[in-house]
Structure 1
Amino acid sequence: MSKAEASVRERITVNLTPKSVQALEALTGNTGDTKTDTINRALQLYEFLDRVTREGGKVYVQESESETLERVRFL
């Protein structure tokens, strides 16, 4: 990322659903990150997952108590 790209900032207002508010509160409580940092990370992760799946890749998760990999599908 160039210095010009790194300096670009945008301020937006977001209306969160109650479920998203709960998720944001849980994440900031677990990580100690600010709401801004948490939302930025979430968007970066979403973009990465979207790019992987658009390019034909697959995303899998494995619960801590399970030996089974489960494919994640984004709708």
Structure 2
Amino acid sequence: MNIALVKESAKALVKLQDDTGLKKVDIVNRAIQLYEFIAGELKAGRQVVVRDDDGHDVLVKIFM
């Protein structure tokens, strides 16, 4: 499968490769799986929350 990425996504992919040492295919596969998980959680009525270093929860706004 071939995909065309917009400029910002291509830059993000290169940065992720540099940061993680993973191959592009592995990053894309993980991204798709994460997207599917988040979509399922939102569809089930749940929210996505991250916790900062100080222990504060921050709601992540994701529009699907």
- Bucket of the pairwise TM-score, normalised by the shorter protein: 0.7 to 0.9
CA RMSD, Structure 1 to Structure 2 (Å): 1.7
State the AA in 2 paired with 1:26.
K
Structure 1: runs of 5+ lacking an equivalent: 1-11
Structure 2: runs of 5+ lacking an equivalent: none
Larger radius of gyration: 1
Alignment of 1:50-69 (within 5 A): 50-64=39-53, 67-69=56-58
Q: Does 1:27 align with 2:32?
A: no
| Partner Cα distance (2:15, 2:27) in 1 | 10
State the AA in 1 paired with 2:39.
D
Normalization by structure 2: what TM-score? Answer: 0.84
**CA-CA distance at 1:71 after TM superposition:** 3.1
Task: Determine which structure has the larger strand proportion and give its number.
Answer: 2
Higher RCO, 1 vs 2 (CA within 8 Å, ≥6 residues apart): 2
| Partner Cα distance (1:60, 1:68) in 2 | 6
Same amino acid, percent of matched pairs: 33
State which drifts further: 19-28 or 61-70: 61-70
Moved over 3 A (4+): 62-66
| Partner Cα distance (2:46, 2:57) in 1 | 19
